[in-house]
Amino acid sequence: MKKKGAQILWEALVREGVEVVFGYPGGAIMPVYDAMLDYPIHHVLVRHEQGAAHMADGYARASGKVGVAMATSGPGATNLVTGIANAMMDSVPIVCITGQVPAHLVGSDAFQETDVTGITLPITKHNYLVTRADEIARVVHEAFHIARSGRPGPVLIDLCKNAQFEEAEFDHYPPPIRLPGYQPVTRAPLHLLQKAARLINQAKQPVILCGHGVLMAGAEQELLYLATKAQIPVASTLLGLSAFPASHPLSLGMMGMHGEVHTNLAIQNSDLLIALGMRFDDRVTGVLKAYAPKATKIHIEIDPAEIHKNVYADVPLVGDLKLVLQDLIPLVEENDHSEWMAQILAWKEEADQRSIMNWEPDGKLHVPHLVREIWNATGGDAIISTDVGQHQMWAAQYYAFEKPNRLITSGGLGAMGFGLPAAIGAWFANKDREVWAIVGDGGFQMTAAELTTAVQEGANVKVAIMNNHFLGMVRQWQEFFFEKRYSAVDMLTPDFVKLAEAHHVPARRVTRPEEVQEALQWARQTQGPAVIEFVVEREDAVYPMVPQGAALHEMIQRPPRQRA
Amino acid sequence: MRYTFVVLVENKPGVLNRVASLFRRRNFNIESLAVGPTENPEISRMTIVVECPNGDTDAHRLEANLYKLVNVIDVQDVTHLPTVTRDLALIKVKAGPERRAEVNNLASIFRARIVDVAPDSLTIEITGTEDKIESMIELLRPIGIIEMARTGQIAITRGTQSGIRRMPGLSNYYETTLDMSEVAF
Ligand SMILES: Cc1ncc(C[n+]2csc(CCOP(=O)(O)OP(=O)(O)O)c2C)c(N)n1
């Protein structure tokens, strides 16, 4: 049957299982927006295209499905760029569809023409320029396949306006895929599995490093089984948090620059690292030449280009983490590492004495305490989306994540402005679940306009603004490494309560610890979005911290009983 | 050290840009890159000569990253294998009638050909390995090179042996996994 290109696009999206699209219309994509009215896909009108990309990203992380963002040519497409780069760095499957000028005008600097496939080439897993209607069905199907398979990532489809208008045959879906160069490896060879198992069975001080890949592969059960069978402690990267229950006795929490002391010490003293779906980012390893010097490394990873990139893998197992672990676990023997665990716990006890959690109340609001209060109020079961900065690290450190995909945060790119839109996206993935955005006063202002998107959609998203009137993380670096010469970090903030109310969102300001619980309950009981501004201690710092260029065990720890 | 890769890619618009962009993005310097059709019209063949300061480590990294490009079908490292490699140069030298014999002599030593004669210039065509072409250029320099064009190297392995295919990034661990006859078009 003949259909218009714009219709074929929606036919294909429906068949790919798309339920919601985050977007913003404009000249070059109008035929698509017109055809949209006839299809059962919900469109969320964002306030800035960056928000659309982050919402698609948050949706994808919370649902495990592919998120879809849509924008017009030129400025619409360039506004998506940060969100696409973010999805690329964190391996999140999204498909972005942008309008493009008609094919005969491509290359002529036509109105709102931008070389979008050129701009996004290094920040997409793959991209397409579609000039004809009869290519649309195949390209959409390939795009979804590429986005979600192998190491997931963003795919962009730049759709010329003429292709949206023109007609083409649309009979069967999915059309055959022709990707001769795209064959992700899924299983590892037996001899390497055996080698890995031997190392695991012999190790005295092993540590499992749990990365984002565990969540992406849905391998949480396999991880739990491996860890408990061989009694191996599990440290998580920022993006790996929530894959392994924080309350589990083998859980070591977060590793890396702001990782816990005992976690980093465990890694540095380990004799075997079993890295699962992670890429030894510099924020995780500290300086490479001093990283886990005694440890043999097993690296299980879907992306072959990550093997040996930063850390040499003695046993590289390339494949789908879930399948590789399923193959590996039967070869691993039951084991006991109680001596090793005791050592790690001793480190923990020592470090805990400095924890801000053991402070006497000082009448001020501290973000770590607030995160704990949010944990208490939500039963530890909310989806927490964060922005970027100190509050992000505190959320990661103190919201003890129990269930998978409860933390949604911008890891690799560290894109301020991510928190609120990602929370809205996550809510669309699971409307019954409680969703909190924990954001800083700086980052929140970058995408605050999405508050009205939340209102318009009835998105039940709660926003906790941790207002220290500073670009806190940058201030902290200036305090530690630039002799406290504060440069461009002192920030006048708007009246966030009025700002929220102007967006039709009920809001409150909290300045004292005794108001916290009641405010949280108020927000939870409010229908739809709600905002709480917490006016927090201005110059607190995130501890521990591994300074850039230092080894992972060379942490700056919180000064004992520090009072700000 | 210099490495030579033979890369088979889908013959589609923009693929050359993707490959070139990858080398830039990953901070590698391309010495030469030659692209052309193969016996299969849907596949193009690139011969890429690239400086790899960290030797095999870099070579692994490049291969693995090339495979991340959806349009890249096959990557072979032919650096350490017996190959036939050829570069073609057209060299225009300043030579009036009085020096033609000299240039002609040089050309015949190198089995090069004179392909254009003008009143005060000669154009020489030479094919061969890079070394051979470089030596010829050195000898022509004193005579006066007006202009020169080179194709960049192309390479093919000798006999039926193919280049080394490390499964992306993993030297020695995987055998060749891709049988070209299985590539479905
Ligand atoms: C888009 C963007 N610009 C700049 C930065 C650099 N940066 C990282 S953290 C930070 C401060 C964030 O301040 P705020 O949002 O108030 O959060 P806080 O650190 O105070 O919790 C900045 C400027 C960034 N990560 N992203």
Residue with tokens 């409680």: A434
Q: Which domains does chain A have, with CATH numbers?
A: 2-169 (3.40.50.970), 190-350 (3.40.50.1220), 355-535 (3.40.50.970)
Residues A49-73, buried b or exposed e (16+ Cβ, 10 A)?
bbbbbbbbbbbbbbbbbbbbbbbbb
Span A216-234, average pLDDT: 98
Q: What residue's CA is closest to ligand 1, atom 17?
A: A440
Span A204-219, average pLDDT: 98
Q: Which domains does chain B have, with CATH numbers?
A: 2-81+161-179 (3.30.70.260), 83-154 (3.30.70.1150)
Distance A442 CA to ligand 1 centre (A): 6
Distance A532 CA to ligand 1 centre (A): 19
Helices (H), A399-490: 419-429, 441-447, 450-457, 472-481
Beta carbons within 8 Å of A226's beta carbon, 6+ residues apart = A208, A232, A325, A328, A329, A332
* Closest C-alpha among A559, A501, A507 to residue A535: A507
Give the residue from chain A lying closest to B75, CA to CA.
Answer: A181
Span B158-177, average pLDDT: 59
pLDDT greater than 50 at residue A381: yes
Is residue A99 within 8 Å of residue A127, measured between CB atoms? Answer: no
Residues A415-428, buried b or exposed e (16+ Cβ, 10 A)?
bbbbbbbbbbbbbb
DSSP per-residue letters across A160-229 = EHHHHHSEEE---SSPPP--TT--------HHHHHHHHHHHHH-SSEEEEE-HHHHHHT-HHHHHHHHHH
Mutate to test the interface with A, among B18, B23, B74, B170 (most CBs of A within 10 A): B170
**What pLDDT shows up at residue A183?**
87
Locate A434 and state its tokens.
């409680």
| Banded pLDDT at B165 (limits 50, 70, 90) | confident
Mean pLDDT across chain A:
97
Spatial distance between the Cα atoms of B163 and B78, rounded to a whole number of angstroms:
5
Helix or strand (DSSP H, E) at A377: helix A367-377
pLDDT greater than 80 at residue A7: yes
Interface contact A189, partner B, CB < 8 A:
yes
Spatial distance between the Cα atoms of A70 and A47, rounded to a whole number of angstroms:
13
A388 pocket-lining for ligand 1 (C-beta < 6 Å): yes
CA dihedral A406, A408, A409, A412 (to 10 degrees): 100
Interface contact A331, partner B, CB < 8 A:
no
**What pLDDT shows up at residue B177?**
41
Residue A513 Cα to chain centre, angstroms: 30
**What pLDDT shows up at residue B174?**
39
* Closest C-alpha among B70, B8, B155 to residue A147: B70
* Residue among A90, A370, A388, A441 to mutate when testing ligand 1 (max atoms within 8 A of CB): A388
Spatial distance between the Cα atoms of B164 and A318, rounded to a whole number of angstroms:
19
Span A76-99, average pLDDT: 98
Locate B81 and state its tokens.
């294998």
Interface contact B20, partner A, CB < 8 A:
no
Spatial distance between the Cα atoms of A253 and B98, rounded to a whole number of angstroms:
83
Q: What is the pTM of this model?
A: 0.95
Beta carbons within 8 Å of A215's beta carbon, 6+ residues apart = A61, A239, A240, A242, A243, A277, A404, A405
Least Cα separation, residue A155 to chain B (angstroms): 11
| Banded pLDDT at B175 (limits 50, 70, 90) | very low
Cβ within 8 Å, pair A181-B9: yes
pLDDT greater than 80 at residue A564: no
Spatial distance between the Cα atoms of A400 and A425, rounded to a whole number of angstroms:
22
Give the residue from chain A lying closest to B62, CA to CA.
Answer: A305
pLDDT greater than 50 at residue B179: no
In the annotation, is A111 catalytic?
A: yes
| Banded pLDDT at B167 (limits 50, 70, 90) | low
Q: pLDDT tens across B4-36, in order?
A: 999 999 999 999 999 999 999 999 999 999 999
| Banded pLDDT at A361 (limits 50, 70, 90) | confident
User: Which residue among A4, A22, A36, A49 is the active-site one?
Assistant: A49
| Banded pLDDT at A102 (limits 50, 70, 90) | very high
Q: pLDDT tens across A286-324, in order?
A: 999 999 999 999 999 999 999 999 999 999 999 999 999
Cβ within 8 Å, pair B67-A118: no
**What pLDDT shows up at residue B162?**
80
Span A202-227, average pLDDT: 98
Model ipTM value: 0.91
Compute chain B's Rg from CA coordinates.
19
Half-sphere exposure of residue A266: CA atoms within 13 angstroms, side-chain side: 37
In the annotation, is A49 catalytic?
A: yes
Interface contact A400, partner B, CB < 8 A:
no
A386 pocket-lining for ligand 1 (C-beta < 6 Å): no
Residue A304 has its nearest CB partner, among B57, B168, B185, at: B168
Q: pLDDT tens across B73-109, in order?
A: 999 999 999 999 999 999 999 999 999 999 999 999 9
Compute chain A's Rg from CA coordinates.
24
Spatial distance between the Cα atoms of A193 and A558, rounded to a whole number of angstroms:
42
